[in-house]
Structure 1
Amino acid sequence: MRGVWVVSDNAAGGDGIRVSVDDRGVARIVIHRPHRMNALDGAASRAIIEALDGWSARDDIRVVVIDGEGGSFSTGADVIDIAKVAGENAGGGLDPTQARGVISGGSDLARAIRGVRAPVVAVVDGPAVGIGASVAFASDLIYATERSYFLLAFINIGLMPDGGASMSVAAAVGRARANAMALLGEKLRAAEAFDAGLITEVVADRAALDARVNAVVDKLAGLSSSALRMTKAALDAHTMGDFDAALDRELDGQTALLQSPEFQAAMSAFAGTKN
């Protein structure tokens, strides 16, 4: 299967999520929603989860690549999608069931990434923000261009990190740097992220990124899949053992925060800019 569109909210423009698997067992997910800087709405997230869940059960999948086209990795959850759900209510906010439904998409997405037994490679060119950053951080290997940056922007709209970022970032960079990213919403440039141990490697530009990732994928595809899976599982046991607990804490916290006056005010301000 090569270049199959599994969701499209604008078929004429080719927007959506593309999945493919080549004859070596290299599986790819490409986010292509350029009009939203690859922000993920519910349909896009579900499509990614469905692909990952399917691949997690397949012994022939040797490596999974998650990429974003059009100059962005992903700018997070699509606020327009959330605003539409909130707009269905008389008060313009989310009820508890809606709030939990919205945030569970991010938790399920991160869980699906970690559920893949084969190595997962994130290919970051441009911004990785919010749940977009969480998707990258949930991956096993993260390669980025110099112009890329990572931003946990949740605090700026009255929310908290989700998608497992409250754990994955702290596990990689330590408490002090994680606090600066999560509590202050500080942007971390690719070079800084590499120096902090948050990502695997930084390269000059998109062409160099593609070349480097292709080389890594070629190497992984040629190694013992059993050894890779067992090594990944062993590393996860030491570094990601509390991942599910972190997702549960985030889910409870975000469910409450999505109903808060601060977030409702942020949604109202956003809606005002669209009128």
Structure 2
Amino acid sequence: MTQLEHVDGIWSGIDEAGVARLEIDRPAQLNALDGAASQRIIEVCAQWAGDERVRVVVLAGRGGAFCAGADVAGMASSAATKGGFDAGDSRAIIENGSRLIGAVRALPMPVVAAVDGPAVGIGASLAVAADLIYASAHSYFLLAFVKIGLMPDGAASATFAASLGRARANAMALLGERLSATEAFEAGLINGCVEERAALDAVVGRVTAKLAAASPAALALTKAALDGATLDQYDAAIDREIAGQTELLQSPQFQAAIAAFASTGR
């Protein structure tokens, strides 16, 4: 049994077998991440990266959502107070998202995402940052950035392209197309799709047990080799996303979108 600690909307803990769990629990926001929740994930991942007890990490969301992205309501409130985002605010926002995904990618042990419900925006980036991804059938993946005048971030321009190929990644990023869990499995974005949450938990349990019993050194070196072969553009993608998103967060299109959200709540 894993004893989990709850801090800033994030549950985290390690069980006796070395399976570490990190679960987002912000149900009123569909597990959208604010600065505090993101920072907690970064801190926990940094601790686990050097903890020899941890053999595998599981990322999940509670309450029927994986993660609905960034907490746009909080961003809208902040923007309304300040009269918009300046260059410093914009860069801080995108760099925080990049650090979040970077903290997950820096974990030397395998990371397994258990996706139950929507994985949207930076939430989709977080899920696909994992090494193995399993989802329930009612889940979906959505890079909705273009709809509010932004571009994908959280290394999505690298990870989605690496998994899906250029054509399908372009459709998700440029058209904002939603990919169901079934479609995501068929397209190669995720490793498995099951009907219900109970089945998802069972599949993830079997996978993590197998990983926890394997050689940590072998898994770490294998993971690094695969990343080197498939994500060699990761750092360059992060740099391009930071530069582009910093600009777009100050654009009239995004300012109008965030103002509309502040006035209507959606």
CA offsets 1:30-70 (integer angstroms, 9 cap, x no match): 10111000000000000001000111122221000000010
- SS of residue paired to 1:263: helix
Deviations along 1:170-213, whole A, 9 cap, x unmatched? 11111110110000000000111111100010011000000110
Matched, 1:196 2:187: yes
Distance 1:86 1:121 in 2: 35
User: How many Å separate the matches in 1 of 2:47 and 2:117?
Assistant: 28
Structure with larger RCO (C-alpha < 8 A, sep 6+): 2
Contact kept in structure 2, 1:171 and 1:239, CA below 8 Å: yes
Please state whether the residue corresponding to 1:188 is helix, strand or coil.
strand
Whether contact under 8 Å (1:62, 1:225) holds in the other structure is: yes
- Matched ranges for 1:81-230 at <5 A: 81-89=74-82, 92-230=83-221
> Is 1:85–1:98's contact at 8 Å kept on the other side of the alignment?
no
The secondary structure found in structure 2 opposite 1:150 is: strand
Pairwise CA RMSD of aligned residues? 1.1
Does the residue aligned with 1:85 lie in a helix, a strand or coil?
helix
Normalising by structure 1, we get a TM-score of 0.94
| Aligned with 1:29 (options 12, 22, 30) | 22
Map of 1:251 onto structure 2:
242
* Contact map agreement 1:87 1:93 (CA 8 A) in 2: yes
Q: Structure 1 residue 83: deviation in Å?
A: 1.6
Which residue matches 1:38? 31
TM-score, reference length from structure 2: 0.97
Q: Match for 2:143: what amino acid?
A: L
Instruction: Return 239-248 or 145-154, whichever deviates more.
Output: 239-248
Match of 1:11 in 2: none
8 Å Cα contact 1:131/1:162 also seen in 2: yes
Return the alpha-carbon distance in structure 1 between the equivalents of residues 261 and 139 of structure 2. Answer: 25
Structure 1 partner of 2:45: 52
Q: Count residues with an aligned counterpart.
A: 265
**Structure 1 runs (4+) greater than 6 angstroms displaced:** none
Percent identity reads 58
- What is residue 12 of structure 1 aligned with on the other side? none
Gaps of 5+ in 2: none
Choose from 51, 55, 79 the match for 1:62: 55
Measured in 1, the distance between the counterparts of 2:79 and 2:87 equals 11
Aligned to 2:69, what secondary structure does the other structure show? coil
Deviates more, 1:19-28 or 1:38-47: 19-28
Mapped to 2, the partners of 1:207 and 1:61 lie a distance apart of 24
CA distance in 2, matches of 1:58, 1:151: 33
Query: What amino acid does structure 2 have at the position aligned with 1:187?
Result: R
Which residue identity does 2:76 align to in structure 1?
A
The equivalent residue for 2:65 is 72
What secondary structure sits across from 1:237 in the alignment? helix
Query: In structure 2, how many angstroms separate the alpha carbons of the residues matched to 1:264 and 1:72?
Result: 27
Corresponding residue SS for 2:70 = coil
Report the CA distance between 1:233 and its aligned residue: 0.7
